[in-house]
Amino acid sequence: MRNLKLFFLVASLAMTISCAQEKKSSGASAPEVQVPPAGTPWVPEGTGPGQNPGTQYGGTAALTIPNLAVFGQYTGRPMNNPTEIKINLNMVKTDGGTFGGTATITYKDNGYYYKGYFTTGSTAKATQYNKVFSYGGKTVWHGIFEDFMGGLVVVIDEIVDLGDGGGSEDLVNGTVWFKNFGLTYAPHPPTYCWFVSLGPYDCRAWPSGTGMNTYAHKDPQNGYIKLGSFTGLSIKAAFNNEPLL
C-alpha cells in the first residue's frame, strides 16, 4: 500500500507497484515529502470534506495490525517497528443519503511520520455503495475508498443502539481492508476503481455482474486483505455530526 519506492513515468503512464499516496516527515517541524512525486500516477478527483485530507478533521482511532508482514504489504516495504498506527475518517452526507469523504492512515517508523490518504468522492453517484445495512443480526456500514495505488474498505460492524429512541451511541468499532492494483503500464480509467469491472484497476469488494453488491457480505471479498481493526471511533466526529442510523 503506502509505496515508498521510486516510480518512473513511462510515456506518461505510471507503473503501479503498491497501494497508496503517502507522505513522510521526520518531525512536526519538518516539511512532509510526498512519495511518489505529485502528478506521477493517477489521482482520484476531489478530496471530500475538510480543507485537506488528514487527521485535522473527522474522527481518529488507533488501528491494531495483525503482524508486520501484512503491514509491509500495505506500505510496500519492510517494516521495522511501526508505532502510533491510526485510522481517520472524515465523512459528510451526500444528497443521496450516503457518505463521502476521506480515510487517512498514519504511523511512525524509524523516526519518520507517514500519512496516506484515500478518497471515496463526495457525490451521491460516487458514494452509492457506502451504505448502512443489516448483516447477521448486526448493523454494518461499508465505506470504499481509493488512492492512486489501490482500494481501501472500512467496515464499521459494531454500532450500539440502546433501543431507547436516542439512536446509536457515539463510539463504534470496525476493520480496515486493502487491495493493491495489479502491476500494469495501463492508464487508470477516468472513474473510481469500484466502477471498473475488468483489468488491474478493478477494486470492487463485492463484485456483481459489472457492478457491486455492498450487501453481499460484511467483509470485503475479491482479494482484499485485512489491514487491521479499530475500536472507539467517534461517529459524531467521523461523520461530522450526521447520524449513521
Return the minimum-mean-pLDDT range out of 5-9, 74-78, 145-149, 226-230. Answer: 5-9
For residue 204, pLDDT over 90 is answered with yes
Domain for residue 152, yes or no?
A: yes
Most confident region among 8-22, 27-41, 44-58 by mean pLDDT: 44-58
- What pLDDT score was predicted for residue 33? 30
Domain for residue 244, yes or no?
A: no
- Count structural domains, the chain: 1
Kindly report the average pLDDT of the chain as a whole number. 78
Average pLDDT over residues 182-196: 87
Domain for residue 4, yes or no?
A: no
For residue 52, pLDDT over 50 is answered with no
Return the minimum-mean-pLDDT range out of 18-22, 33-37, 134-138, 142-146. Answer: 33-37
CA angle, corner 127, sides to 123 and 133, nearest 5? 140
| Better-predicted residue by pLDDT, 1 or 227 | 227
Rounded Cα distance between 39 and 36, Å, is 8
Burial code (b: 16+ CB inside 10 Å, e: under 16) for 192-202 equals bbbbbeeebbb
Domain for residue 26, yes or no?
A: yes
Domain for residue 200, yes or no?
A: yes
- What pLDDT score was predicted for residue 232? 92
Each residue's pLDDT tens digit, 83-118: 999 999 988 888 888 998 889 999 999 888 988 888
For residue 216, pLDDT over 50 is answered with yes
- What pLDDT score was predicted for residue 39? 35
Domain for residue 131, yes or no?
A: yes
Domain for residue 245, yes or no?
A: no
Average pLDDT over residues 193-217: 94
CA distances from residue 243 to 72, 115, 182 in whole angstroms, order as listed: 35, 27, 36
Please name the residue ranges forming H helices in the chain: 68-75, 235-238
Domain range spanning residue 140? 9-238
CA distances from residue 176 to 38, 97, 145 in whole angstroms, order as listed: 26, 22, 11
Average pLDDT over residues 8-33: 41
For residue 48, pLDDT over 50 is answered with no
Rounded Cα distance between 171 and 158, Å, is 9
| Better-predicted residue by pLDDT, 217 or 149 | 217
Each residue's pLDDT tens digit, 129-185: 999 999 999 899 999 999 878 999 999 998 765 555 555 578 899 999 999 998 888
Domain for residue 2, yes or no?
A: no
pTM, rounded to two decimals: 0.80
For residue 43, pLDDT over 80 is answered with no
Please check whether residue 10 is in contact with residue 41, taking contact to mean a CB–CB distance below 8 angstroms.
no
- What pLDDT score was predicted for residue 156? 96
Average pLDDT over residues 68-76: 91
Rounded Cα distance between 163 and 160, Å, is 9
CA distances from residue 20 to 14, 143, 200 in whole angstroms, order as listed: 13, 17, 15
Please check whether residue 229 is in contact with residue 64, taking contact to mean a CB–CB distance below 8 angstroms.
yes
